[in-house]
Structure 1
Amino acid sequence: MNPKHYSMLIQWDPRDNIYVVTIPELAGCRTHGDTYEEAIKNALEVIELWIEDAQKAGEPIPQPTFAA
């Protein structure tokens, strides 16, 4: 699976001054970054880790969704 194919919800958190990224297709998959670019980089890494952990556990891996 290509991490770039998953949806990313990127939100600014003014309280902590960070960008928070949620991956809607992958339950509990969230990360953050001090900059927008760092948040996206971290999100791509956390998607890979989420998929790797699911594979090791024999869990199903949701397909990326596409909303037209």
Structure 2
Amino acid sequence: MVKYQMIIQWSDEDDCFLVGFPDFPNQKWRSHGDTYSEALNNGIEALESLIMAYELSGDKLPVPKTVSMVT
């Protein structure tokens, strides 16, 4: 199960939602969508492609950042 963060943020400049993966270095924005739902679906595809590219090149995948809930 993939546990990487996905950031979806509206961009007035681009007039669309931008998708980024902060756990991956030098990967500010990787995808986009005209709607939030489209950005989410495109982001999932982009993340899968990014992981495959890392694996095919032999690069080590970054360690996902985690959040711990303190009660």
Normalised by the length of structure 2, the TM-score is 0.80
Deviating runs (4+, > 3 A) in structure 1? none
In 2, Cα distance between the equivalents of 1:64 and 1:33?
Answer: 24
Matched residue pairs, number? Answer: 66
Tell me, which stretches of 5 or more residues in structure 1 are unaligned? none
* Counterpart position of 1:57: 57
SS of structure 1 residue aligned to 2:10: strand
Distance 2:12 2:44 in 1: 23
1:30 alignment partner AA: R
Question: How far does residue 51 in structure 1 lie from its aligned partner after superposition?
Answer: 0.7
Q: Percent identity?
A: 36
What stretches of structure 2 of length at least 5 have no aligned partner? none
Q: Which digits, 9 at most, give the CA deviation of each residue in 1:38-59, with x for residues without a partner?
A: 1111111111101101111100
Residues of 1 paired with 2:52 and 2:33: CA distance? 22
Distance 2:9 2:56 in 1: 30
Higher helix share: 1
* TM-score normalised per structure 1: 0.83
